[in-house]
Chains A and B, each alone.
Chain A
Amino acid sequence: MRQCLVVALISFIAIAMAARRGVAQQPAKPFDCSQSAAARALCAMTRAVQQPANAVDCSHLGPTTVAYLRCMAGHSSGVVSTVARRDLPNQALHVSTSGVYVRIIAGAVDSVSWYIPQALHAWRWASDTATLYRAAPGRDAYELHVAPDSLELHNGLENVIVLVPADLPTLQVDVEGGSVSVEDFAGQLAITMTKGFVAVVHPTGPALIENRDGAVRVILTATRLGQESTLKSSLNILARNGDIELTFPAAIHATLDAEAHQGTIVDAPMALSRWQGGNDTIPVKTHPVLGLQDNELRKVHRDFNGGGAAIKLVTLNGIVTLIEQLPVMQR
């Protein structure tokens, strides 16, 4: 009789675990790159960075030149209509934007530079430190404000490229609507997004990211030739009403803590296809699915390769997706 009870108990536990796993293996909801202009901009900004074969080496071009800016921005053709630059008066830059899709790239420049890869025939500078505006008939008045330690971009500017020196110690980015991508920044980074999409590519310094209404995508793998895929400092991401996607190199030394309050934590390559428009050609390593049952705070703790830099991911209402990207040699 006692043996029968033990067998029944073991069977019940096995069935419960299988059912739990079955719930967890439900595919994550797909991210739709076409759901909004901001989503399209984010997908376009980060589409190429997971394809190291497409990575370009811009170092042979003279820094601060138009060719270098164009190379770093991934624009092989087209006219850079305006390039403005100024010397940094201190060691911190504050960028605030609204309704703008902006890429901020750290590179071999000795001052902050930006350009807009659009024809800007109707644009003119009101003054060197005031406003760049365009008030064409039927169009919004675009604004770009420059102050000694800050840069403001407002109202519908698309694909604005801002280059900052690679050794800039601190960058603070505040965004109210739109998309922002920060690439290859090694200093202290803080991003606060009110509503929209945030992408951070290959950060190596400490990074604090908060998106109050939208998704966050972080790629820790190197994106340009000659770069090393490392995370030397902590990475903290808070997302409300949005997914968090983290792509990391297989050899990373990190300690991960992830929380999904209403959602799941998945460890699967399926997210690649949704972010890359169905062209999933990146080999990744698949782990057991980590998600748990609904209506339950899900927490995952994991040491990668013995642990290291602290990574904390928290989403209140969304999916945390972990993607381990294999090194190039294993492909």
Chain B
Amino acid sequence: MTDHPTLSHADEKLLQALRHLPDVPPTPGLPAAFHRRLEAQASAGRPIGPWVLAALAAALLIALGAGWWVDRNRREAEIADLRAELTNALRNLPAPGRFEAVNQAGNSNLRDDRVVEALTHALLTDPNTNVRVAAADALGRVANAQSLADAARRSLGAERSPFVQSAMLQNLQRLSGGERAQIVERFLGRRDLDPTVRSEAEQGGGL
């Protein structure tokens, strides 16, 4: 039998032998090493001073400002390029080339008054019906409500092609009910309308 009920006889003998071993003194360098480690941990947990926070905030603001400035310049350059390409295409290219340029402007993410102005010019003056329809579709994507309403008033007042008229009528869904009704009412006053387009205007104009 052993003193401890859970230990075997061999373990009890080993425990008795260990109790008779002499104590081991600590090494001479142990206190210094302990204090160095303690100091390191204390300095790591020290709070950051306010000047460090201010510097970090300033650096962040500078970085954000520089990014905004670079992005704005890049965006301005893209808009200028797009408008130049569109204007050049509308002046010099045959109809398929003008069509592609108008489509590109309509599919870009660059919503700018100068691009909208060039598209409106194409809508009102291009001799090819397909190009004018593409300009109407493009304006429906990139123009704001006010620009779209202005373009619709001018186009639907003079445009003779039912294809272009229909495309602009579909764009009117983006306008408010009162403004849409006003434009459609004026459009329906024309006597030269295609019956299909007249029917669509009556159904979709909110009248």
Contacts and interface: CB of A to CB of B under 8 A. Distances in A.
B119 interface: no
Interface of A: 92, 170, 172, 188-190, 192, 205-210, 233-234, 236, 238, 240, 261-262, 297, 310, 314, 316-317
B87 to A, nearest CB: 19
Contact of A240 (B131, B133, B163, B199): B163
Interface of B: 94-97, 99-100, 103, 128-131, 133-134, 162-163, 166, 194, 196-197, 199-200
B96 A316 contact: no
Nearest to B162: A316
B130 A208 contact: yes
14 contacts: A170-B94, A192-B129, A206-B100, A208-B95, A208-B99, A210-B130, A233-B96, A234-B99, A234-B100, A234-B103, A236-B130, A236-B133, A316-B194, A316-B196
Nearest to A257: B137
B172 to A, nearest CB: 14
A208 B95 CA distance: 8
Query: Does more than half of chain A's interface fall in helix, strand or loop, or is it mixed?
Result: strand
B163 A92 contact: no
Contacts of A314: 133, 163, 166
B197 A189 contact: no
B95 A190 contact: yes
Contacts of A234: 96, 99-100, 103
A308 to B, nearest CB: 15
A158 B197 CA distance: 35
A73 to B, nearest CB: 26
A37 B71 CA distance: 62
A125 to B, nearest CB: 30
A317 B134 CA distance: 20
A20 to B, nearest CB: 19
Nearest to A259: B166
Q: Which 3 A-B pairs have the closest CB atoms?
A: A188-B96, A206-B96, A208-B130
B196 A92 contact: no
B96 A205 contact: yes
A189 B97 CA distance: 10
Nearest to B203: A295
Contacts of B200: 261, 297
Contact of B94 (A188, A209, A297): A188
